[in-house]
Structure 1
């Protein structure tokens, strides 16, 4: 039996805690990659990203590229 789920804080909870601590209204995808440095952390983030319920994904075209941002959903 693997214990990976026990110590695994959800990526979404981690990002929200970081945003509150740093008083940030949004995080870019690059910010997320900076926060999740280890490959295992990034895999977890990628797998959970589409299921976020409190963070909303926003796609913004910037300089011909699509940039991904996450913002807190309005309550």
Structure 2
């Protein structure tokens, strides 16, 4: 599930920056402004923030160091692989 949220985060922030720059080009450049660029940009920002929060929630154990060997002493196969 972490990979899904990571991919969603990248795609959402890509949409945010791409359509955000298009909206800014419509405001300050020669391109005509349309609201769809601004709305897609805001949706990308919202989804990107939500996806990043999901990644933080799913990887909270990494900062505690619990991801290294959660089966230490419990699984013989894991002990052989990590030895």
TM-score category (smaller protein): under 0.3
- Would you tell me which structure has more helix in proportion to its own residues? 2
TM-score by length of 2: 0.25
TM-score by length of 1: 0.26
- Would you tell me which structure has more strand in proportion to its own residues? 1
